Amino acid sequence: MNTREQRSAAITGAGSGLGRDIALGLAAKGYRVFGTAMSSQEIADLQQASGGAVTLSQCDITNDAAIKMWASDVANQTEGQLDLLISNAGILTPGPLEVLPLSAIRHEFEVNVFGALAVVNAFLPALRKARGRIVQVSTMTAALPFPFNGPSGASKAAFEALAAVYRAELKPFGVDVVLAVAGNMRTGGPAKTAAALKRVADQMTPEQRQLYGKAFDTFAKTMNTMQGSGLDSVSAAKKVIELSEQLPAPSRGTVGADAEEVLRLVREKSDTEQDSMRLHMVGLE
């Protein structure tokens, strides 16, 4: 990575949760930090919390023009160089695949796959110039997808495949690509997850409730418990930052002991054993 006096970093989803703590952590280490947020309130909050060390822009990563404008603005302020891109923004669309509207699943892919792809491509000229690093925040469910959590696991797995291709294609330019595979985290996400789970349950038809209601309620309770006992936000951010600076760059690293355990089990267990594991982990067996 570049050894200029002040390194630069760009982070998507920096207005709240894990992204916010990563932004603050990098600013504390002397990085010049840029990020995206979804609201003016998030921007004002982080501006105050960072003492002005973090510059946020209100930007929807599914808007290609907005992403290009943000990347251009960052490049203008960093001499066209970027040392670190952390692709953190993402959404969760829980529910039975039969019940979820296809439009909701498509939207998750728009954010988690195509939005992330657009961000990486927009910053590649600056990353190449700095011989920088891309860190993609992923999830353990990309390796072991859970029932009622299909769109999240599928979209993250899709981008993990793209990340492997990027790693090969960008190697000649000295740009590293690292996957930060997260487990359960207490990052502000649990409240959002609980709300999303309740919304799906409330929108089920009587027939859908009869088919999936009991199992989905069990899944929802288990997920809320798992997230509530996960790695705290600041510790998770520190781990992502460690992966951002580790030399030589790892192809992937885990954020949380549960993610490390899941990846180990996926390597060691058969498909049949993994089928049992995924049910057991969400309280359905």
**What does the DSSP assignment read for 198-253?**
HHHHHH--HHHIIIIIHHHHHHHHHHHHHHHTSEEHHHHHHHHHHHHH-SSPPSEE
pLDDT of residue 191: 65
pLDDT of residue 189: 53
Name the DSSP letter for residue 149: -
Q: What is the C-alpha separation between 15 and 89, in angstroms, rounded?
A: 10
The torsion angle over the Cα atoms of residues 19, 56, 247 and 135, rounded to 10 degrees, is: 60
Q: What is the C-alpha separation between 83 and 129, in angstroms, rounded?
A: 9
pTM exceeds 0.75 for this model: yes
pLDDT of residue 2: 46
pLDDT of residue 190: 56
Would you say the C-alpha torsion 20, 23, 27, 29 has a positive or negative sign?
positive
Q: With a cut of 70, say whether residue 155 has pLDDT above it.
A: yes
Kindly report, residue by residue over 66-79, the tens digit of the pLDDT.
Answer: 999 999 999 999 99
Percent of all residues in the chain with a pLDDT value above 70, rounded to a whole number:
96
Q: Is the peptide bond before 172 cis (omega within 30 degrees of 0)?
A: no
* Cβ atoms of residues 138 and 182 within 8 Å: yes
pLDDT of residue 3: 45
Average pLDDT value for residue range 194-211: 86
Give the strand order in the sheet containing 32-37: 54-58, 32-37, 8-11, 84-87, 133-139, 176-182, 252-255
Q: With a cut of 60, say whether residue 106 has pLDDT above it.
A: yes
Model confidence at 27, in pLDDT bands (50, 70, 90)? very high
Q: With a cut of 60, say whether residue 230 has pLDDT above it.
A: yes
Q: Which residue has the higher pLDDT, 92 or 254?
A: 254
The residue among 214, 242, 227, 212 whose CA lies nearest residue 152 is 227
Joined tokens for residue 168: 């090969």
* Cβ atoms of residues 19 and 88 within 8 Å: yes
Q: What is the C-alpha separation between 58 and 39, in angstroms, rounded?
A: 6
Joined tokens for residue 215: 């199992």
